[in-house]
């Protein structure tokens, strides 16, 4: 497989951030879950940085009328920057500028949370004529280490069509996931997809490859999104549009990512991510590690 520079297949990344965030209530009554900080940085900035590192030049954030703070987060704040600059707080200044320096941010609005597929469809007017494919990154799914989009791009360059990301999950734990029906290719980490089953019982799962929140989708997805009807949960599902494309002979592959992930969409997963990231920082890591070790050894009365 050749390097990312020669296999760049997308320039636009879409980040759907218009969901209701019900698993994170009551906080999400007022704060969009995409802005909750993993240590000090909102999950959506981590995902924007991943998209930029993979070669995206534009980020289309799909947001809802009540969640404009998500887009404001990426805007310049000249007064704050002048204040930090005048006080010589250069490390903070750099952090504050990071978000808007990453890539050009645009907004699409999803008036009602009608599902992930519907959210992605709202970004179609933002596409450029030469966007033959787009990346979609779910901001509550951290895929670690980053770099899977580069490999997905190389797979599209080789096979065409659309490319999704999968994790190899032990069969007994497969039930909460969307699971791919696949056959092998010459590369152990790349599989051809023939279908998908949502939340199967372990004995019914067609494989142990479960879907993760990274997609590299051919532009044909926008036409497919217009032709699907509400599926699971009464929502327009992105995976139903992918399934429709597969049934019409459109090539779909998965890249099996051998790494970790954090689900930032629920408090338990979010806490793990925060601890994981904090343990890696020189600023908070050593004292957090010492405190956690002591705390775990201490039964509270």
Task: Give the CB-nearest residue to ligand UTP.
Answer: 19
> Is there a contact between 244 and 228 (Cβ–Cβ < 8 Å)?
yes
142 binds ligand UTP (CB under 6 A): no
Among 14, 17, 136, 255, contact with ligand UTP (rule: CB under 6 A): 17
DSSP 242: H
Write out the H or E segment, with its range, that includes residue 78. Answer: helix 78-86
Interacting residues with ligand UTP between 170 and 229 (CB under 6 A)? none
Q: How far is CA 99 from CA 12, 94, 102, 124, 281, in A?
A: 16, 9, 6, 23, 19
50 binds ligand UTP (CB under 6 A): no
Among 4, 38, 56, 62, contact with ligand UTP (rule: CB under 6 A): 62
For the CB of residue 198, give the shortest distance to ligand UTP in the complex, in Å. Answer: 13
The contact mask relative to ligand UTP for 219-258 (x = CB under 6 A, - = no) is ----------------------------------------
For the CB of residue 17, give the shortest distance to ligand UTP in the complex, in Å. Answer: 5
Give the distance from CA 271 to its chain's centroid: 18
Alpha carbon distance 74, 99 (integer Å): 5
> Is there a contact between 163 and 152 (Cβ–Cβ < 8 Å)?
yes
Q: How many residues bind ligand UTP (CB under 6 A)?
A: 20
Kindly indicate which of the ranges 14-22, 70-78, 190-198, 200-208 contains the residues binding ligand UTP, using the contact rule CB under 6 A: 14-22
Among 42, 115, 161, 178, contact with ligand UTP (rule: CB under 6 A): 115
Among 4, 14, 18, 152, contact with ligand UTP (rule: CB under 6 A): 18
Cβ nearer to ligand UTP, comparing 23 with 100 = 23
For the CB of residue 112, give the shortest distance to ligand UTP in the complex, in Å. Answer: 7
Angle in degrees, CA 143, 151, 39, rounded to 5: 25
3-state secondary structure of 131: coil
Single out the residue of 53, 49, 73 nearest to residue 63, CA to CA: 73
110 binds ligand UTP (CB under 6 A): yes
For the CB of residue 49, give the shortest distance to ligand UTP in the complex, in Å. Answer: 16
> Is there a contact between 211 and 239 (Cβ–Cβ < 8 Å)?
yes
Kindly indicate which of the ranges 107-115, 173-181, 215-223, 242-250 contains the residues binding ligand UTP, using the contact rule CB under 6 A: 107-115
Among 113, 157, 169, 275, contact with ligand UTP (rule: CB under 6 A): 113
Cβ nearer to ligand UTP, comparing 72 with 89 = 72
What 31-34 contacts at long range (C-beta under 8 Å, 24+ apart), as own/partner pairs, is 31/69, 32/67, 32/69, 32/70, 33/140, 33/264, 33/265, 34/67, 34/70, 34/139, 34/140
Among 8, 20, 220, 244, contact with ligand UTP (rule: CB under 6 A): 20
3-state secondary structure of 264: coil
List residues binding ligand UTP (CB under 6 A).
Answer: 16-23, 62, 110, 113-116, 118-119, 138-140, 265
């Amino acid at each position: 497989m050749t390097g990312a520079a020669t296999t760049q297949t997308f320039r636009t990344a879409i980040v759907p951030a218009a969901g209701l965030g019900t698993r994170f209530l009551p906080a999400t009554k007022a704060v969009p879950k995409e802005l909750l900080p993993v240590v000090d940085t909102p999950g959506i900035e981590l995902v924007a940085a991943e998209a930029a590192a993979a070669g995206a030049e534009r980020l289309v954030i799909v947001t809802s009328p009540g969640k404009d703070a998500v887009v404001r987060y990426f805007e310049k704040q000249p007064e704050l920057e002048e204040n930090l600059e005048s006080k010589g707080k250069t490390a903070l200044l750099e952090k504050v500028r990071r978000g808007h320096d990453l890539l050009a941010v645009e907004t699409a609005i999803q008036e009602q949370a009608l599902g992930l597929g519907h959210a992605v469809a709202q970004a179609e007017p933002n596409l450029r004529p030469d966007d033959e494919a787009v990346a979609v990154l779910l901001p509550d799914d951290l895929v670690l280490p980053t770099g899977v989009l580069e490999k997905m791009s190389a797979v599209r360059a080789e096979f065409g069509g659309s490319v999704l990301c999968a994790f190899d999950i032990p069969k007994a734990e497969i039930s909460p996931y969307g699971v791919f029906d696949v056959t092998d290719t010459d590369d152990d980490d790349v599989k051809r997809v023939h279908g998908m089953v949502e939340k199967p019982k372990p004995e019914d799962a067609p494989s142990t490859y479960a879907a993760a929140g990274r997609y590299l989708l051919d532009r044909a997805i926008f036409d497919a999104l217009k032709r699907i009807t509400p599926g699971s949960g009464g929502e327009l599902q992105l995976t139903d549009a992918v399934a429709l494309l597969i049934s019409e002979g459109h090539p779909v592959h998965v890249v099996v990512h051998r790494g970790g992930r954090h689900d930032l969409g629920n408090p338990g997963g979010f806490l793990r991510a925060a601890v994981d990231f904090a343990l890696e920082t020189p600023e908070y890591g050593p004292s957090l590690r010492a405190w956690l070790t002591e705390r775990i050894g201490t039964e509270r009365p």
